[in-house]
Amino acid sequence: MSADGDAAEETAFVRTYTLTRGRTTPRHLMSVDTVLDAGPGQPGPGQVGESEEILALCGEHRRSVAELAGRLGRPVTAVKILISDLLDAHALVISVTDAYATSDEAADADADKRPNPHLLAALAAALKRKWPDAVTYAQAG
């Protein structure tokens, strides 16, 4: 490869710590299988191009953290930090699917499609035990 090709490749490469502005942990708890959807907000003016790519991918349909990291070719931790910024801006939302509904609710056509409150309460209690210092959200109930 020529010297010009090497220089172009080096300028196109952005180090991960530059994308995350030196941060090493996301502000939101999420796993690699957390599913995200586009939200009503807009990313902040200082957010990187990868954030726009994340929004474009999630705008097509719901995507998991692992899928976004794979499509961007970035480490999962770095993508979680970018997602965390987008969650703060309400440009992304974490999807809650019907997988949490009980079988009785699924059988009833008129059943409320929200997650089962007993399951969510048990999940919240378990999460508080596992991560007692985690950030809680007022709108989460």
Per-residue confidence (pLDDT) for residue 75, from 0 to 100: 87
The answer to whether residue 24 sits within a structural domain is: yes
> Of 1-5, 28-32, 48-52, 123-127, which range is least confident?
1-5
Rounded distance between C-alpha atoms, residue 85 and residue 137, angstroms: 15
Whole domain around residue 115: which residue ranges?
97-141
Do the Cβ atoms of 80 and 66 come closer than 8 Å? no
Quick one: pLDDT band at residue 122, thresholds 50, 70, 90?
A: confident
Question: What's the structural domain count of the chain?
Answer: 2
Per-residue confidence (pLDDT) for residue 67, from 0 to 100: 92
Rounded distance between C-alpha atoms, residue 38 and residue 56, angstroms: 8
Per-residue confidence (pLDDT) for residue 68, from 0 to 100: 92
Same-domain status, 50 and 116: no
What is the DSSP secondary structure assignment for residue 101, as one 8-state letter? Answer: S
Q: How many CB atoms lie within 10 A of CB 140?
A: 7
Range 30-41 average pLDDT: 88
